[in-house]
Amino acid sequence: MTKNDDRAGFTIVELVMVMLIVGIMASIVVPMIRPERFQLDSAVIEVASSFTSQQRNAVLRQHNTVVGVDTVERHLRVHYDLDNDGEIGTAEQWFVIELGDGVTFGRGGAPARPMSNLSVSMAKVQGSLPVITYRRNGSASEEAIIYLTSPRGALSGSYPEDSRAVEIARATGRVTCYSYASGAWEQAC
């Protein structure tokens, strides 16, 4: 019987060298990953689905649902208007949907879509918030657009690629999302 010392495996020195190379590569690649894009894509989907959900709630509950946009506090306010009077009554439920971190209302450096150049285009207000009302037939009180951008885009007016938009059609209440990329608005949600 002979002893076989030819064992397969790695030495600690080889493992340390591989980890060092991986660390160097990661330090080069990680700064190139921009979290703004992912945060904005997530936020536009959340805002669009919130409006779509409230349109469906108005149809299912058979009373108006009012969605307000608070640009200062960075959230949507949803109000189930049981008596369809446009005011928040004591017996009526309301709640807020917060925007995620790294996202704010605004157009940033992108050019305006045809509908409006305002960050939030709704003309009707509830309290001090611009609102859109979904009626029990699913239609919206007006057509509207809401722009989303990153804080860096809002502060500098640059970074057009950090711009997203949510458009709401009046007659159908349909929600459409847009993303600004490669010098043009593209429908993407």
> pLDDT value at position 188?
86
Lowest mean pLDDT among 14-18, 24-28, 172-176, 179-183: 24-28
On the question of pLDDT at 32 being above 70, the answer is no
Helix (H/G/I), strand (E/B), else coil: 32: helix
Model pLDDT for residues 43-70, shown as the tens digit of each residue? 999 999 999 999 999 999 999 999 999 9
The chain-wide mean pLDDT, for the chain, equals 90
Topology given in CATH for the domain delimited by 35-187: minor pseudopilin epsh fold (3.55.40)
Distance in angstroms (rounded) separating the CA atoms of residues 176 and 134 = 16
Q: For the chain, give the longest Cα–Cα distance.
A: 95
Lowest mean pLDDT among 10-24, 28-42, 64-78, 173-187: 28-42
Compute the average pLDDT of residues 118-139. Answer: 95
> pLDDT value at position 131?
97
Task: Supply the pTM of this predicted model.
Answer: 0.81
Compute the average pLDDT of residues 30-37. Answer: 73
Distance in angstroms (rounded) separating the CA atoms of residues 173 and 148 = 19
Residue 2 one-letter amino acid:
T
On the question of pLDDT at 129 being above 70, the answer is yes
Compute the average pLDDT of residues 139-147. Answer: 97
The alpha carbons of the chain give a radius of gyration, in whole angstroms, of: 24
Model pLDDT for residues 166-177, shown as the tens digit of each residue? 999 999 999 999
Compute the average pLDDT of residues 155-178. Answer: 92
> pLDDT value at position 157?
75
Compute the average pLDDT of residues 155-175. Answer: 91
- Are 111 and 119 in contact by the 8 Å Cβ rule? The answer is no
